[in-house]
Structure 1
Amino acid sequence: MRVALFVTCLNDALFPATGVATVKLLERLGVSVDFPTAQSCCGQPHFNTGYRGAAEKLVQHTARAFADYDHVVTPSGSCAAMVREQYPRWGETSLASRTHELTEFLVDILKVTDVGAYFPHTVTYHPSCHGLRTLRLGSRPHRLLQAVKGLELRELPGAEECCGFGGTFAVKNAAVSTAMGQDKIRSALATRAEVLCAADNSCLMHLGGLIRRQDEPLRPLHIAEILGSTEEDPYRPEEPAS
């Protein structure tokens, strides 16, 4: 089976550790992962803001970049949702059917929930809107986290509420976006967890900014980095720049 990583532009530019963790995790499970260097943006920002012509060019480019693979795995629910839900508008049904968000690929394709991870911390999980309502990831992320050695999973109050990011929504409606994010952070703090986990770095970017500005004792972290951590090679947080 030929598997490609669709790292997404947000992860590539701002959260490269998520892409590295995804590859390490999949290789640990016996999957050989390719990284097509021609990949670019999936076109979601353009599509959502009405630039359909520009989106179409990116859709066609992305389809060509991943044409030769049986499965395309992405650590981004929002980008997976874009490919699955919108690419068929332009006739790209093949890529839509071959694209999987990471937790889907692990549970549905590899048929695993215990990936051999070790993460001795308390964690609460935020389900992103795309993962919750479009991809319908359901219990997959929870089942994976519950199988991690040393991890204590704490339920997030109001988990199904949006974090307030919403792409350009956060720019156009900054006050509302910030208020929604603060509500989500208060809920996460109420669990007394050390880590706020999600399967979308777009949500974590928004929440992480608020957490840092408010100096809260909570670390935002992508699920791939938790699942990629082992006793032999444990997760090590990056030190903030001085």
Structure 2
Amino acid sequence: MHLAVVLVSPARAENIGAAARAMKTMGFSDLRIVDSVAHLEDGARRVAHGAGDVLDNIKTYPTLAAALADVQFTVATTARSRAKFHYYATPEELVPLLQEKSEWLETGALVFGREDSGLTNDELALADILTGVPMVADYPSLNLGQAVMVYCYQLASLIRNMPETVTRSDDNQLQALRQRARSLLEKLEVADDIKMADWLDQRIGMLTQRDTAMLHRLLHDVEKKLAE
């Protein structure tokens, strides 16, 4: 699986440089910036050291949705206490999850939010899975460069152990399943059950390829029955 790192509205050039350096060190190269030009400041290149090529190849986007347009599976980082979602994977837990996804999905993204406020709930809703770094309670904070290094270090094994071939499937299997599930909730007139809808959204991102296919079959049968 090709993994991109996406920074949403980073404010400090030095943080972008630190992120680029962490990526280069761990074997990542696809850095995407949303709604910021801070990477053009001198501080980014000064801190990046030998990762100038990562900075040179940065792609910029006006919105997170645009940055994820070609991505099949999205992991968003967030603080546990700030999100409306309840399922979190630690960096360590992401490894087997993404290893399974890499067998049938070709592109993924790891999204980091703003230094001061993280990601909005609307931005978090674009993710398939959420992740957070367990930290000591009285100092629950990492700067952007540190956070990128933690995840790149943990996920570097995915680059070293990529499957030689990927089982091709519908590029939008998970997205299509999520939309199909939401549509079914509306037909059943239970879409206003926010707890149910959020739980469903969260768990879909954890499904394996076989589970995804089977749930598509189940929803097809339910839809067919409802149409009778």
TM-score normalised by length of structure 1: 0.28
Q: RCO higher in 1 or 2 (8 Å CA, sep ≥ 6)?
A: 2
Structure with max Cα Rg = 2
